[in-house]
Amino acid sequence: MTQEHADKSGFETRAIHAGYEPDPSTGAVIPPIFATSTYKQDGVGGLRGGYEYSRSANPTRTALEGALAAVEDGERGFAFASGLAAEDTLVRALCRPGDHVVFPDDAYGGTHRLFAQVEQAWGLGLTTAAVSDVDAVRAAIRPGETKLVWLETPTNPLLTIADIEAMAAVAHDAASLLVVDNTFATPYLQQPLTLGADIVVHSTTKYVGGHSDVVGGALVVRDHDLAERIGFHQNAMGAVAGPFDCFLTHRGLKTLGVRMDRHCDNAERVVEFLTGHSAVIDVTYPGLPDHPGHEIAARQMRRYGGMVSFRVAGGEEQALAVCDRTRVFTLAESLGGIESLIEHPGRMTHASVAGTELEVPADLIRLSVGIETVDDLLADLDRALSGG
C-alpha cells in the first residue's frame, strides 16, 4: 500500500495493508519470513533495496515497522526484541548521564526496575509522579535537565489515566519530550501521537501480537530527527526483533481492531458482573463513570480496553485463592492475548516493586479479559469467587 493511500485509509485497512506490497517476484500476499542474516551485494556497496545486514534491516521487519507506523499515525516505526529493549534503546538514544526523567508512580514493575536499577546506575535522574495529576508532573520537572516525561495510560495494573494532551503541553513547555507507553490501550483505542505525544512505546508482546506466542517491543515517532536518532541506536545497540518474531507480531496486528472490540465487549460484561458481587470490594475499569480518569479516558480513547483490576473482601489470602481456582482464566503473567489471564500483581508482575512507592495492594487481582465466550468467563469467575 502506498504511503498516500495508507494515510487516507481506516484503521483496519492500514493494519492489514500498510507496510507491504505483494512480493514483486512471487506475488506473496503476506510478507515472507526472510531468515537471512546478510544480503548479496551487486558489486561493493551495490545493495538491493538498501539491505546489507539483518541487524540494520530485514524485509520482514521493514513490513512490520511500516504497519506499526501507519496504525499509530506516525512516520517511522521500530521493532525490538522486547518492550524493555525498546525502552532502553529509547533512553540511550535521547538521554545522557546527568539527564532526568519524570516517571509514573504506578508504571509496569519491569519498566520501573529498568529505570531504577539500570538507567539510574548509568547516571539518569528519576522522579516518580502521579501521572493523573498534571500539577504533580509539572512540579517534578527539572527545567533544563528533564529530557523525558514518561506516561503509561492506562497504567499497569491500577489503570490510572493520564491526560495525554495536557501532559504534552506540560512537557513541551519545559522543552521535554512526551513518551506514552500505549501497550494497554493499543493504537486501535488511542493514538498518542495525534494528541501531542512525541514517542509511542509498545510491548507488542501484548495486544499487538495478541496471541501470547511472541515477545517484542516497538517505538513509533513522527519527527524525522527523532527517527534518525532511534534508528541509529536500534542498529548500534542491536536489540532488534528477529524475522520470525516480526512475522508473528505483524500477523497479530492485522486483526487488532476486531480483537480489541471483543476484548472490550467481554471486559464490560466482566466489570458489570464483578461490580455486583458480594466478595468484591472495588472494581477498577476506566469505563466506569466513577473511575477518577473516566472523563479523560472518554475523550482520548475509543473504548476502555480489556484490562480489569479488582480487590476482594477476603484480603490477600482470598486473592491468592481466587487466582488458583479459575479454570478458564489461566493463572499467568502477561496480558493482551486472545485467552483470558488472571494474576496477583503483588506476588507476580509487580513483585519487583514491593517496598517501593509503586507497591500494589495485596488484595488486588488483575484480569486480562480474553475473547472467549463471555458466559464461560463469568461462570468461571463466579465459581472462583464463591470458593467452588
Q: Shortest gap between Cβ of 307 and ligand PLP (angstroms)?
A: 9
Toward ligand PLP, which CB reaches closer, 203 or 326? 203
* Residue 135 CA from chain centroid, whole number: 25
CA distance 70 to 187: 10
Toward ligand PLP, which CB reaches closer, 264 or 384? 264
Is 217 among the residues that bind ligand PLP (CB under 6 A)?
Answer: yes
- Residue type, position 347, single letter: R
Q: Do 156 and 184 meet the contact criterion of CB atoms below 8 Å apart? A: yes
Toward ligand PLP, which CB reaches closer, 166 or 332? 332
The binder of ligand PLP chosen from 51, 78, 108, 247 (CB under 6 A):
108
Which x/- pattern, by CB under 6 A, does the window 342-381 give for ligand PLP? ----------------------------------------
Site for ligand PLP in 6-45 (CB under 6 A): none
Site of grid cell 529509547:
90
At residue 103, φ and ψ (nearest 5 deg) are -135, 145
Is 266 among the residues that bind ligand PLP (CB under 6 A)?
Answer: no
- Beta strand 125-129 pairing with 307-312: unpaired
Site for ligand PLP in 180-199 (CB under 6 A): 181, 183-184
- Residue type, position 48, single letter: R
Residues facing residue 325 across a β-bridge: none
Site of grid cell 519498566:
111
Toward ligand PLP, which CB reaches closer, 51 or 190? 190
- Total residues contacting ligand PLP (rule CB under 6 A)? 15
Strand order in the sheet with 341-343: 280-284, 307-312, 364-368, 341-343, 330-331
Is 203 among the residues that bind ligand PLP (CB under 6 A)?
Answer: yes
Active site residues: 55, 108, 181, 206
Residues facing residue 220 across a β-bridge: 77, 200
Q: Shortest gap between Cβ of 151 and ligand PLP (angstroms)?
A: 11
Which x/- pattern, by CB under 6 A, does the window 72-91 give for ligand PLP? ----------xxx-------
Is 111 among the residues that bind ligand PLP (CB under 6 A)?
Answer: yes
Toward ligand PLP, which CB reaches closer, 59 or 336? 336
- Beta strand 280-284 pairing with 341-343: unpaired
Distances in whole angstroms, Cα of residue 353 to Cα of each of 95, 102, 305: 24, 17, 25
Is 110 among the residues that bind ligand PLP (CB under 6 A)?
Answer: yes
CA distance 240 to 72: 20
Which residues bind to ligand PLP, rule: CB under 6 A? 82-84, 108, 110-111, 152, 156, 181, 183-184, 203, 205, 215, 217
